[in-house]
Amino acid sequence: MNSPKETSFTHLDESGQARMVDVSDKPVTLRQATAVGFIYLGEKIFPRLVGGQLKKGDALATARLAAIMAAKNTPNLIPLCHGIPLSGIDIEFSPHSDRWGIEIKVTVRGRAQTGVEMEALTGVATAALTIYDMCKAVDKNMTIDNIHLVEKSGGKSGDYHYCPKKVRSDMVQGTMEAC
């Protein structure tokens, strides 16, 4: 049986209606979050993208700007997110020729009363979607995969580091394992 803490949702009021969590009593601290994802492009698209030969232009430059814009506009996309003043956004693209794809990594920083995880995740997702849009004329057979939070720091809950073993264990065995 679930404990009350496990069944209470911070984004629901006593009557079950959606609400934005009040963070006004939380201290302002430096927050940082890093998220990653992967887009599988395939052998037709990958060499064109990394070689700068797409008819639509530089997909990675466009995706970088899209990720920055998305992170800055996350509260306009995710209904219950707080507007957070961001102080930095870093985007990295790592081509993987062995998998015909691009790893996308977004790190977001800001001083706020709540975290910046959603901004980092939204940046990754939007960068991947932008790459897809820029490449779909060549081949629509692409896959966006494995978008997840890698790490976060700051705030009451402290530091977090992604643990794939923990995720698999929870899904397979119904229990959590420490990394």
CA angle 34, 56, 148 (to 5 degrees): 20
Rounded Cα gap, residues 50 and 138, in angstroms? 14
pLDDT tens digits, one per residue of 23-33: 888 889 999 99
**Bigger pLDDT: 175 or 97?**
97
User: What amino acid positions are annotated as catalytic residues?
Assistant: 133
The percentage of residues in the chain with a pLDDT greater than 70, rounded to a whole number, is: 87
Break the chain into its structural domains and give their ranges.
Answer: 26-173
pLDDT digits (tens, 9 = 90+) for 101-134: 999 999 999 999 999 999 999 999 999 999 999 9
Q: In this structure, is the dihedral angle defined by the CA atoms of residues 46, 49, 50 and 53, taken in order, positive or negative?
A: positive
Q: What mean pLDDT is reported for the chain?
A: 89
pLDDT at 25: 83
pLDDT at position 1 is 36
| Residue 170's pLDDT band (cuts 50, 70, 90) | low
CA dihedral 60, 66, 68, 74 (to 10 degrees): -150
Fold of 26-173: Alpha-Beta Plaits (3.30.70)
pLDDT computed for residue 22 by the predictor: 80
Residue 124 token pair: 């990754």
* pLDDT score of 6: 45
